[in-house]
């Protein structure tokens, strides 16, 4: 009998030793893989100008290969319902997403439920959905979301983009029509759940003000991940406040948290004649993070550290990593973001890309 217990003990020790080794070598075992993402929604347009990109060693290389080698594992793409051109259209996003999936990237869709940019100040209902009854609008949201799930098959899906004030205004205005807002959200999430048990649903909020109030408003919604936008220019310069808010949200709502959008400049200069969104020193966090390549790198390193140290932190997504001055140095309608891209003015990969692969 004693020998039997000894053998059993050896088997148990061996099992758990193998289990620990498996967890160490395969992060998907009992642990969700950290999301190291980049939003490159404009890349299908940019690539038409045939730019040459260079990796961290200065070698010319395919843009997506550079991202992959630097540890990017997820690509975020915006999706507009019926835009005036092909950019961010259903067919373009569908085609691009499939190409990215074949290269091993996971796909996070930022579904705007609009024909154009959606954010806290702009949540315009798509043109061909305007004038519908509320019942018909709900039906349109359901079937549109169902089409996304069956044809694009994302790994993560945002139901709306920065929906601080709701989405699909006026029917889905969070203050003026709260019940409509909730019903429209539920119509979209139902379409996701019916199609997939694996796709994670994100509810996306911009900034650090009003977080508790907002996520209390959506507590009846079936979703998985809290998505936050954090840019110092708009959302305050305190990374300590960001960290505290993440910890409090995790404690209150027991949800994974993704920094769905963030970015930082590597210079205050410009590479075309289009006004940049960040161009002044008072828009920076100084002296800690100057507008230099190392300042950009250190800012994102700190963001990643905050997420990693948060009990429910899931990952982060760098917005506009592809937005070089692709229309040329004289363009007045070019990139307002080239000084915050992941590549410098010569399309050389910046040190910030090292952060995506850091352990």
Whole-Å CA distances, 252 to 173, 238, 248 = 24, 21, 6
Number of domains in the chain: 2
Provide the pLDDT confidence category of residue 359 given band limits of 50, 70 and 90: confident
Residue 302 pLDDT > 60, yes or no? yes
* pLDDT, tens digit, 9 for 90 and up, residues 102-120: 999 999 999 999 999 999 9
- In this structure, are 275 and 339 located in the same domain? yes
Residue 275 pLDDT > 80, yes or no? yes
* CATH number, domain containing residue 349: 3.20.20.80
Known catalytic residue at 162 = yes
- In this structure, are 5 and 53 located in the same domain? no
Catalytic member of 22, 45, 69, 162: 162
- In this structure, are 47 and 135 located in the same domain? yes
Residue 97 pLDDT > 90, yes or no? yes
Q: Which of 216, 213, 211, 212 is nearest to 228 (CA)?
A: 211
- In this structure, are 18 and 104 located in the same domain? no
- In this structure, are 277 and 333 located in the same domain? yes
Kindly report the number of other CB atoms within 10 A of residue 330's CB atom.
10
Burial of 184 (0-12, 13-18, 19+ CB in 10 A): buried
pTM: 0.91
Provide the pLDDT confidence category of residue 30 given band limits of 50, 70 and 90: very low
- In this structure, are 20 and 57 located in the same domain? no
Residue 227 pLDDT > 80, yes or no? yes
Instruction: Show the domain range for 20.
Output: 1-31
Q: Strand ranges (DSSP E) for the chain?
A: 35-39, 74-79, 106-111, 156-159, 200-206, 225-229, 256-262, 313-319
* pLDDT, tens digit, 9 for 90 and up, residues 160-171: 999 999 999 999
Question: What's the whole-number mean pLDDT along residues 202-229?
Answer: 97
Known catalytic residue at 261 = yes
- In this structure, are 338 and 276 located in the same domain? yes
- In this structure, are 19 and 86 located in the same domain? no
Whole-number pLDDT of residue 31: 59
Question: What's the whole-number mean pLDDT along residues 147-166?
Answer: 98
Catalytic member of 127, 261, 309, 358: 261
Question: What's the whole-number mean pLDDT along residues 176-195?
Answer: 98
CA atoms of 97 and 83, how far apart (whole Å): 18
Question: What's the whole-number mean pLDDT along residues 332-349?
Answer: 98
Provide the pLDDT confidence category of residue 358 given band limits of 50, 70 and 90: confident
Q: Which of 338, 294, 300 is nearest to 316 (CA)?
A: 300
Angle (nearest 5°) at CA 355 between 160 and 207:
35
- In this structure, are 236 and 91 located in the same domain? yes
Bridge partner residues of 131 (DSSP): none
Number of DSSP helices (H) and strands (E) in the chain, helices first: 10, 8
CA atoms of 35 and 259, how far apart (whole Å): 10
Whole-number pLDDT of residue 11: 39
* pLDDT, tens digit, 9 for 90 and up, residues 282-301: 999 999 999 999 999 999 99
Question: What's the whole-number mean pLDDT along residues 10-29?
Answer: 39
Question: What's the whole-number mean pLDDT along residues 270-291?
Answer: 98
- In this structure, are 76 and 176 located in the same domain? yes
Question: What's the whole-number mean pLDDT along residues 54-82?
Answer: 98
- In this structure, are 13 and 131 located in the same domain? no
Question: What's the whole-number mean pLDDT along residues 211-224?
Answer: 97
- In this structure, are 45 and 102 located in the same domain? yes
What does pLDDT average to over the chain?
A: 93
């Amino acid at each position: 009998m004693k020998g039997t217990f000894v053998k059993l003990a050896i088997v148990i020790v061996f099992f758990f030793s193998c289990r620990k080794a498996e967890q160490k070598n395969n992060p998907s075992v009992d642990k969700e893989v950290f999301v190291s993402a980049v939003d490159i929604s404009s890349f299908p347009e940019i690539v038409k100008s045939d730019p040459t990109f260079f990796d961290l060693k200065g070698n010319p290389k395919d843009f997506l290969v550079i991202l992959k080698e630097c540890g990017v594992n997820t690509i975020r793409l915006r999706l507009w319902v019926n835009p005036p051109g092909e950019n961010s259209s259903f067919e373009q996003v569908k085609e691009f997403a499939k190409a990215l999936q074949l290269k091993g990237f996971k796909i996070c869709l930022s579904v705007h439920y609009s024909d154009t940019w959606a954010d806290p100040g702009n949540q315009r209902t798509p043109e061909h959905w305007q004038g519908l009854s509320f019942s018909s609008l709900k039906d349109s949201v359901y079937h549109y979301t169902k089409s996304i799930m069956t044809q694009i098959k994302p790994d993560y899906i945002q139901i709306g983009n920065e929906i601080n004030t709701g989405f699909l205004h006026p029917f889905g205005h969070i203050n003026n029509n709260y019940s409509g807002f909730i019903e429209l959200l539920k119509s979209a999430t139902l379409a996701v759940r019916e199609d997939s048990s694996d796709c994670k649903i994100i509810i996306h909020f911009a900034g650090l003000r009003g977080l508790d109030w907002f996520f209390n408003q959506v507590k009846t919604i079936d979703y998985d991940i809290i998505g936050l936008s954090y840019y110092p220019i708009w959302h305050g310069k305190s990374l300590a406040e960001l960290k505290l808010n993440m910890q409090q949200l995790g404690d209150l709502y027991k949800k994974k948290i993704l920094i769905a959008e963030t970015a930082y400049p590597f210079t205050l200069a410009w590479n075309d004649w289009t006004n940049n969104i960040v161009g002044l020193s008072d828009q920076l966090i100084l002296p800690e993070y100057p507008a230099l390549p190392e300042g950009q790198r250190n800012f994102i390193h700190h963001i990643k550290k905050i997420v990693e140290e948060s009990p429910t932190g899931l990952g982060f997504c760098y917005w506009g990593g592809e937005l070089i001055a692709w229309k040329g140095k004289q363009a007045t309608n070019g990139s307002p973001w080239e000084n915050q891209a992941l590549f410098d003015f010569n399309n050389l990969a910046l040190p910030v890309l090292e952060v995506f692969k850091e352990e």
